[in-house]
Structure 1
Amino acid sequence: MTLPTYVSERFHLFDRNTSDESQWYGPVNTLLGYLFPPQQYEVAPQYKGPVYPGSVEFTTLYIVRSARGNTKHPICFVEIKPAGHLHDLAARATADRQMRERFDHLVEGLIIPKLIGFSAIGSRFAVYEYNGASRELTPPEIPRDPRIVNDTAPAGRWAHDFLDAGDGEAKLLEVVQSIRDLCDAL
């Protein structure tokens, strides 16, 4: 399975280097709608207010839920940041921290064995995975060094690009298929 042209075209309708993360919402919504058809899944944008006191930043988080039977439960989520964050140590650390906080909120009452989260910085993405049995979250957190400034969220973590018709697309489709397989097993 490859992504159809109409999906990738959505990402070429704006400057992908914009600092306005809201430019990514429409194309990501189109991508998620293709990957998770509405007959079986629900893509639900969630708008979150400021994360830290004094912050004015609002974020949009996409939660994908299985819509099988009469229940809705999260099966994956996507957190989006603008492309420029990839080259900013503090912005990557914040993105990593926010992903971990999202898992804290979503794993309670989880009914699938694994919960997947995508951290998208521009079109590049990292895959986070929570294993319900072991309660392990990967990739592991890199602790802040108390004396030196260290990179707690290396840029290499966002190694895949969902606009790359080769490896990036293959990784995205592989992870999505594993999510679908988890849902089918319920």
Structure 2
Amino acid sequence: MPLPVYVSERFALFDRTTSDGSEWYGPINTLLGYLFPPEQYEIAPQYKGPVYPGSIDFTTFYIVCFIHGNTKHPISFIEIKPAGHIHEKAARATADRQMRERFDRPIEGLVIPKLIGLSAIGSRFAVYEYDKASKELSPPEIVRDPRIVNDTAPAERWAHDFLDAGVGEVKLLEVVRSIRTMCHAL
């Protein structure tokens, strides 16, 4: 089941190499709206201010909630970074660290067996998964070596592309199918 044309068209409306991460918010919001229809899901943008004094680095991510009865349950999230960050080791490391920190809040009331988060750098994405039973988070963290400079978030982690009508799209739909199956088992 390929993504509808209107979703792809939203991504074609802007320069995908822009360093402005906010350019991605609209198309990704359209994509999420298609993948998680509003009859049963809510997509809520979240904005986090600068972490360090004097920093101007605001982070935007979306939390996807499942509406079950009179309650809503966090079931997934996606964090978005500009496409150029894929070529910057420090930017990828920051994206990886922020993804790991995002798992702290929603897991407290998690009602499904796994929480899946997506880290999007432009249209490329990495899948992070927290298993409620084992408390494991994957992919495993690559710890900074105290003596040598190592890559703690290799670019290969973001191996899939939303806009790849082949493998990337298949992977995205597989992840969404897994999330929706867990929700409907409630």
* TM-score, reference length from structure 2: 0.98
Moved over 6 A (4+): none
- Structure-2 residue corresponding to 1:143: 143
Structure 2 residue 102 is the aligned partner of structure 1 residue 99: no
The offset of 1:59, in angstroms, is: 1.2
Higher mean C-alpha displacement, 47-56 vs 65-74? 47-56
SS at match of 1:62: strand
SS at match of 1:11: helix
Higher mean C-alpha displacement, 53-62 vs 111-120? 53-62
The offset of 1:120, in angstroms, is: 0.2
Mapped to 2, the partners of 1:181 and 1:53 lie a distance apart of 42
The offset of 1:68, in angstroms, is: 2.1
1:50-88 Cα deviation digits (max 9, x unpaired)? 123432111111000001211111100000000000000
- Identity percentage of aligned residues: 80
Mapped to 2, the partners of 1:170 and 1:10 lie a distance apart of 19
Q: How does 1:60-75 map to 2 (within 5 A)?
A: 60-75=60-75
RMSD (Å) for aligned C-alpha atoms: 0.7
- Structure-1 residue corresponding to 2:178: 178
- Structure-2 residue corresponding to 1:115: 115
- Name stretches of at least 5 consecutive residues in structure 1 with no aligned partner: none
The offset of 1:132, in angstroms, is: 0.4
* TM-score, reference length from structure 1: 0.98
Mapped to 2, the partners of 1:85 and 1:59 lie a distance apart of 14
- Structure-1 residue corresponding to 2:157: 157
Mapped to 1, the partners of 2:41 and 2:124 lie a distance apart of 24
- Name stretches of at least 5 consecutive residues in structure 2 with no aligned partner: none
SS at match of 1:180: helix
SS at match of 1:38: coil
- Structure-1 residue corresponding to 2:19: 19
Mapped to 2, the partners of 1:109 and 1:53 lie a distance apart of 31
1:98-121 Cα deviation digits (max 9, x unpaired)? 000100122112111100000000
Mapped to 2, the partners of 1:153 and 1:52 lie a distance apart of 21
Mapped to 1, the partners of 2:118 and 2:63 lie a distance apart of 10
The offset of 1:123, in angstroms, is: 0.2
- Structure-2 residue corresponding to 1:54: 54
- Structure-2 residue corresponding to 1:85: 85
Equivalenced residue count is 186
